[in-house]
Structure 1
Amino acid sequence: MNEESKNPETVYIDEQPVRLDELLNEYERIKQQLGQEKKSDKKAIRRYKREEELKPYQAELIRLQQYLEKTRTRMIILFEGRDAAGKGGTIRRVTRYMNEKHYRVVALGKPTEEQKSQWFFQKYIAQFPRGGEIVLFDRSWYNRAIVEPIFGFCSQEEYDNFMTGCPGFEKDLVRQGTILVKLYFSVTKEEQARRFERRKTDALRQWKLSEIDVQAQDRWDDFSTQKYNMLKNTNTTHAPWTIIRSNDKHLARLNAMRVILNSAPYERLNHDIDFVPDPEIVISGSRELEVMEAQRLQRGKFDH
């Protein structure tokens, strides 16, 4: 009997000697690989089901577009909220099947020197919709209410002027027939941190990570305070805020669509789907103010 046959760590497969530890390692590798593939398959199936769940609402959005076009009604949708709160993903789902001739997504960059010399709202008005068109602002004039004062991009006087003039500006906009939908996406600090970490390690998402994003966690309380002040001054009866709890991206997207669809009196295509926003996901601006005031009284700071 040779040495290999005496070695208890060696087995024979098709008359070929194989070390037992190597065989066990290969078994664990294959098991792990199959587990990862199974997990990946489950994620893909769950993602597919979620996207399918959105389709009836996306069909309704096309019907909404047709109503706006027929009546020559203008619509503006503002997407505001913390970084990594899910604004961009929601915009992509809202517009995925829309007629490209009748909507625009506007994401304005840093103002030019000429724009700095203009009336603050002027650059935004230049992007406003014509009759029958929807304009979706991926961040809007509300940059001046939150981001700009936190990072010193505007003076105190400019900020005060905005907070004083904004309600009247929006009231006039609505009075003249524009449908204005103001959505604020609210994510928890822990979930924001998780999404930032993913952006750091995912090559397909790294472009989303900006210098302001890096500071967002450290300035969390500052953002909360500015959000509170914004709601207190600009949540009005003619242009109310709608808060979207967006820790669950899918539910945030679904409920944002419901809010948009409920903003216009179009004839619905499918009466069997649920148009009622989930009260755990969709919060009125007035209710959010109450919640934030209670948090401040109880803990001395805001959670959202």
Structure 2
Amino acid sequence: MNNVIETVNIQNPGMAWHIAADIHFPPGFDKHQTYPAIISAHPIGSCKEQTSGNVYGAALASEGFIVIAFDASYQGASGGEPRLTEDPGQRVEDFRQVIDYLVTLPYVDADRIGVLGVCGGSGYAISTAKSERRLKAVVSITGANFGRISREGFAGYDPLGTLEAMASQRTAEARGGKAQVDDVLPPSVEGAKKAGVTDIDVLEATDYYKTPRGQAPQGKTSFLFSRRAAAVDWDAFHLAEVLLTQPLLVVIGDKPGGFGAYRDGLEIYGRAASKDKELLVLPNTSHYDLYDQPEATTKALEKVVPFFQKHLSA
């Protein structure tokens, strides 16, 4: 896939910083025509050059879609301070800003915009779609609810104690203290195994993000501890049984891991108000297989492409 890619900085009125994005164009792109568009959202701690862009973005563009993969605010090449902030409210607003940008492009059909997210990007995409009626179809690839993760594994299953620690840390930083930046992954797979780590998601995430397999300069896998409190108080699926009505495709692997995409996928499929919803469970497939492994991603795309073609048709 040798699609043309244009990197843009989105600066909409009212924004204090820009959102960096890559636009993937389909083969034979004609600026005088209009195309359906898909927003592709990266996982937590990732960036637009990784799975959301170089795998799903490139593949969907090759099938005739305009695809825009963007970096979250405070992360990647996007603006926003302090860096490495993970704020669910801002992540949802990022999608709205990207849509605002798309509808100004003469070659984008504003009535045919869909969204695809990978891992935590799926949770944010789903959360946005509940109130963003400009999104006409939603695809979740091994989607995870970052709010749930923040209350469970990322909080040591002690959300109140974690919130107290975040409050103390933020006060310390406000008084000039040193920021606490946490890398949520071990430095290497070998080191993780020596330390007794056995969870498939942690080990495979480390293999993806910490080796040439998926490593990218802007894929930090790190977060500012004091700015994660809002995530503990957030739920990607809140009111999905009332507000999530767009056509929905949920893709998960059948190998559950600590980040919980398997359980989250089953939950949102069951809860979504969508009358047209599909669940694809890929056998012998893990969370990170669906990031970049050809067998898993090919099977996912065999479902994703016709889904978008159906629901974003003219």
Band the TM-score falls in, shorter-chain normalisation: 0.3 to 0.5
Higher strand share: 2
TM-score of the aligned structures, taking structure 2 as reference length: 0.37
TM-score of the aligned structures, taking structure 1 as reference length: 0.37
Higher Rg of the two aligned structures: 1
Higher helix share: 1
